[in-house]
Amino acid sequence: MQNFDVVVVGAGPGGYVAAIRCAQLGLSTACVESWINDEGKPALGGTCLNVGCIPSKALLDSSHQYAHIKHEAGEHGIAVSGVSIDVNKMVARKEKIVSTLTTGIAGLFRKNKVEWLQGHGRLLPDNQIEVTPVGEGSTEKSIVSARHIIIATGSVPAKIPPASIDQDKIVDSTGALAFNQAPRTLGVIGAGVIGLELGSVWKRLGSEVIILEALDEFLPVCDRQIAHEAWKTLQKQGLDIRLGAKVTGTGTNNQQVIITYEDKDGKHQINVDKLIVAVGRKPNTEGLGAKEAGLALDERGFILVDEHCQTNLPNVYAIGDVVRGPMLAHKASEEGVAVAERITGKASQMNYEIIPWVIYTWPEIAWVGKTEQQLKDAGIEYRSGAFPFAASGRARAMGETGGMVKILGDAATDRILGVHIIGPNASELIAEAVLAMEFDGSTEDIARTIHAHPTLAEAMHEAALAVDGRPIHI
């Protein structure tokens, strides 16, 4: 039986990063991964690289470029005619990016001497793991043992009874990344991050998109002011988002999907060519043998862990989407690093208060820390400053004048409590706020920091000045 210091189960951004960090720290490390891609080949990278963050951003970027050329080039004095799209080429480009990156992880494993155990991992007693190879040419099962086990089995799309996935007309997020043409009409269930991103892709490529969201509130995870701004902008782009609309049933005929939903006005029926079910994700412990191994899960199926990702079993850790906290790739990776370092006696710790979020609509939405509502609910006194991109020279030059940066600072100490952005490149701009908060910075720190001109980042500077009532450009 092979013996390792660490065996990681799952090679998504949680697992592969944990495995590499363990190996860097001198631990003999193996990573069990069962993913088989569309070509029937084993692949590393998990949801994020194969069917999540990366392919969705590839299509968001392609569709953004198309929409930009079509609708905005004229404003720059560029006359373009005969613009057309080849969705198959766009999807092939996305797949090439995915395969480059996933084979890149295999290269990183080789470089760091992480052994990839291809197959499905199942927990056995006494820190042993059974590996059942999957896919073509599968070989015999094997059993390995490990001093430490890190479970990083991730998540899978949640399902709802009224809409069963056939990956043809009714698809989950994975199917929605592989349409071979833009459907004429597209329904989306769920106006969460994934629903809005995928809805945006196909809207830009020509679909008529209707998003049905059971909640009455739009983007409840966001600061209200930002969510309001996002609502206005996305509506203006033509996304038909219906709030308080609970899908109760779906059916298909040869041509279409028939969706029934209820809202305050009663029952409704709409027909669409394709339907994306984007109602969230659930933790994945399928076939892991959690119950038999005595691994404790909570009532929603997440593996129970403490603040250091330690499970109830000695030397068994769990990280990423399969445990509590936001289902974000960077959260999974940082937990992986922290666990690897703690195994080797380092005092690594995740700062769960400072995890950035991004929604890659256009304009992008990004935030870190508390929303204004959360501060009010907690009775925390704060000062707020905002700066609209309409007043930014760089944003004007780019023709991207929608949105704002908003900063919330503690009224007594001026410590930054939250930063909320809707605007161009918000996903990149938020990094400054994350860094400032990681250093326990104040709004005054950002206000005193010299920002290059002309940049979008100056909006962050001005918002910080605005907290103290001294913005220059508004």
- The least distance separating ligand FAD from the CB of residue 53, rounded to whole angstroms, comes to 4
Q: Which does 316 bind (CB under 5 to 8 A by kind): ligand AMP, ligand FAD, none?
A: none
Select from 276-284, 346-354, 394-402, 454-462 the region that touches ligand AMP (CB under 6 A).
276-284
**Shortest distance (Å) from residue 162 CB to ligand AMP:** 6
Q: Which stretch binds ligand FAD (CB under 6 A): 150-158, 371-379, 413-421, 437-445?
A: 150-158
Tell me the closest approach of the beta carbon of residue 327 to ligand AMP, in angstroms.
8
Residues binding ligand AMP: number (CB under 6 A) = 17
Say how far apart CA 83 and CA 89 lie, in whole Å.
15
Fill in the per-residue mask, 61 to 100: x = in contact with ligand FAD (CB under 6 A), - = not in contact: ----------------------------------------
CB 418 within 8 A of CB 401: no
What are the DSSP calls for 400-463, one per residue? Answer: ----EEEEEEETTT-BEEEEEEEETTHHHHHHHHHHHHHTT-BHHHHHHS---SS-TTHHHHHH
Q: Is 453 a catalytic residue?
A: yes
User: How is residue 304 annotated by DSSP?
Assistant: P
195 binds ligand FAD (CB under 6 A): no
Measured CA to CA in angstroms, residue 107 lies from 45, 100, 110, 112, 337 at distances of 12, 10, 5, 9, 19
Determine the distance from the C-alpha atom of residue 428 to the mean position of all C-alpha atoms in its chain, rounded to a whole number. 15
Q: How far apart, in whole angstroms, are the C-alpha atoms of residue 413 and residue 12?
A: 40
Residue 173 touches which of ligand FAD, ligand AMP, none (Cβ within 5-8 Å per kind): ligand FAD
Q: Kindly tell me which residue out of 23, 90, 194, 407 binds ligand AMP, with binding defined by CB under 6 A.
A: 194
Segment near ligand FAD (CB under 6 A); pick from 44-52, 84-92, 184-192, 441-449: 44-52
Window contacting ligand AMP (CB under 6 A); options: 186-194, 305-313, 400-408, 425-433: 186-194
Cα–Cα distance, 16 to 343 (Å, whole number) = 16
Kindly tell me which of 171 and 395 has the beta carbon lying closer to ligand FAD.
171
Site string for ligand FAD, 320-359 (x = CB under 6 A): xx-----xxxx-x---------------------------
The SS3 assignment for 147 reads: strand
Q: Among candidates 162, 159, 122, 163, which has minimal Cα distance to 143?
A: 122
Angstrom distance (rounded) from CA 25 to CA 87: 44
246 binds, among ligand FAD, ligand AMP, none (CB under 5 to 8 A by kind): ligand AMP
Residue from 22, 98, 114, 152 touching ligand FAD (CB under 6 A): that is 152
Is position 144 an interface residue for ligand AMP (rule: CB under 6 A)? Answer: no
User: Where are the alpha helices (H) located in 346-414, listed in sequence order?
Assistant: 372-377, 393-398
Residue 121 is a binding residue for ligand FAD (CB under 6 A): yes
239 binds ligand AMP (CB under 6 A): no
Contacts of 254 (CB under 8 A, 6+ apart): none
Q: Please tell me the distance from the alpha carbon of residue 111 to that of residue 434, in angstroms, as a whole number.
A: 31
Residues 6+ apart with CB under 8 A from 53: 13, 329
Kindly state whether residue 305 participates in binding ligand FAD, applying the rule CB under 6 A.
Answer: no
Q: Whose Cβ is closer to ligand FAD: residue 121's or residue 418's?
A: 121
Judged by CB, which is closer to ligand AMP: 242, or 383?
A: 242
Residues 283-302 that bind ligand FAD (CB under 6 A): 284, 287-288
Which listed option, ligand FAD, ligand AMP, none, makes contact with residue 212 (CB within 5 to 8 Å by class)?
ligand AMP
Binding partner of residue 190 among ligand FAD, ligand AMP, none, CB cut-off 5 to 8 Å per kind? ligand AMP
Residues 158-177 that bind ligand AMP (CB under 6 A): 160, 162
**Binding partner of residue 213 among ligand AMP, ligand FAD, none, CB under 5 to 8 Å per kind?**
ligand AMP
174 is written with which tokens? Answer: 């994975």
Q: How far apart are CA 56 and CA 95, in angstroms?
A: 11
Tell which residue, 369, 307, 315, 298, has the closest CA to residue 335. Answer: 307
Catalytic residue, chosen from 71, 420, 453, 461, is 453
Please report the beta strands in 64-169, taking only residues with DSSP state E, as ranges in sequence order. Answer: 114-118, 120-124, 128-132, 142-151, 155-157
- The residue among 11, 346, 63, 89 whose CA lies nearest residue 205 is 63
Nearest 10 degrees: CA dihedral of 300, 304, 305, 309?
A: -70
Q: Which residues bind ligand AMP (CB under 6 A)?
A: 160, 162, 189-194, 212-215, 246-247, 278-280
Q: Which residues bind ligand FAD (CB under 6 A)?
A: 9-15, 32-35, 46-48, 52-53, 56, 120-121, 152-155, 173, 194, 284, 287-288, 320-321, 327-330, 332, 360
Just list the catalytic residues: 453
